[in-house]
C-alpha cells in the first residue's frame, strides 16, 4: 500500500486536518493517511503541548468515521525529539511491504532544506506538498519526479487559535470534530 505520512502535534486535531487528509486519501494515489502524533516536535516547546496520550485519543476520536485515515502512536517509542528522517526510516523497516509518502505543508516545504537529513528524505521518499495561504509552492525541475504540489482545498485553521480561544470562552465548535470538541470540554483542556 501507498501510505501518506501526516505528522503533527495535533494539539488539537481540527477540521482542516481532516479535510486535507480525506482529500489526499480520496483524490490521490495514497491508499491510507497515517496521522503520526508527534510527542515532541523539534521546532516546538514541550510546555505548549498537551500530553501525547490525550492528543492521540483526540485523533482517534476524530478519525472514527474515516476508514482510510489512521491514528498512530509510532513516534512514542522513538527517541525525542522526533525527526522525520528517523520516523520514515523506522516505518520503512517495520513495514517493508508499504511505500511511504511524506505529506507536508507549503510552509514546511519552504524551509525543508533546514530539516535534518532533508537530502536523504528527498532521495528515498516521495513528498506531497499541500498549499497554505501566503505560501508559494516552488518545486525545482530536478525534484518534480519526487515532489508533488497538491491542489487540495485550503482550510486555514490553527490549533494555536483554538487553544487560545477556549479559555476566552469563544465558541470554536465548528472548528473541531464534534466528538473532539466534547472531549475537550469534558476534560477541561486548554483552560
Q: Which residues of 111-124 are buried (b: 16+ CB within 10 A; e: fewer)?
A: ebeebeeeeebbee
Measure CA 56 to chain center: 12
The residue written with cell numbers 483554538 in the block is 162
pTM of this structure: 0.94
| Distance of alpha carbon 75 from alpha carbon 86, whole angstroms | 9
Number of other residues whose CB lies within 10 A of the CB of residue 64: 11
Return the pLDDT at 60. 98
Q: Are strands 2-8 and 32-37 parallel, antiparallel or unpaired?
A: parallel
Return the pLDDT at 44. 60
Domain extents for the chain? 2-156
**Domain range 2-156, its CATH number among 3.40.50.620, 3.40.50.720, 2.40.110.20, 3.40.50.300:** 3.40.50.620
Q: Is the dihedral of CA 143, 96, 91, 64 positive or negative?
A: positive
Per-residue pLDDT of the chain (191 residues; tens, 9 = 90+): 999 999 999 999 999 999 999 999 999 999 999 999 999 766 665 567 889 999 999 999 999 999 999 999 999 999 988 899 999 999 999 999 999 999 999 999 999 999 999 999 999 999 999 999 999 999 999 999 999 999 999 998 999 999 999 999 999 999 999 999 999 999 999 98
Return the pLDDT at 43. 61
Amino acid at each position: 500500500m501507498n501510505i501518506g505520512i501526516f505528522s503533527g502535534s495535533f494539539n488539537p486535531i481540527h477540521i482542516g486536518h481532516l479535510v486535507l487528509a480525506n482529500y489526499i486519501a480520496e483524490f490521490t494515489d495514497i491508499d491510507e493517511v497515517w496521522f503520526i502524533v508527534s510527542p515532541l516536535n523539534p521546532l516546538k516547546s514541550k510546555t505548549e503541548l498537551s500530553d501525547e496520550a490525550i492528543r492521540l485519543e483526540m485523533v482517534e476520536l476524530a478519525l472514527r468515521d474515516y476508514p482510510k485515515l489512521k491514528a498512530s502512536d509510532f513516534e512514542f517509542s522513538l527517541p525525542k525529539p522526533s525527526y522525520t528522517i528517523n520516523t520514515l526510516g523506522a516505518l520503512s523497516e517495520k513495514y517493508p511491504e508499504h511505500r511511504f509518502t511524506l505529506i507536508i505543508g507549503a510552509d514546511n516545504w519552504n524551509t525543508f532544506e533546514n530539516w535534518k537529513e532533508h537530502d536523504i528524505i528527498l532521495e528515498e521518499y516521495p513528498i506531497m506538498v499541500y498549499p497554505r495561504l501566503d505560501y508559494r509552492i516552488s518545486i525545482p525541475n530536478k525534484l518534480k519526479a519526487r515532489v508533488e504540489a497538491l491542489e487540495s482545498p485550503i482550510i486555514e485553521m490553527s490549533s494555536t487559535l483554538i487553544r487560545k480561544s477556549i479559555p476566552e470562552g469563544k465558541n470554536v465548535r465548528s472548528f473541531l470534530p464534534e466528538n473532539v470538541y466534547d472531549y475537550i470540554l469534558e476534560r477541561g483542556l486548554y483552560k
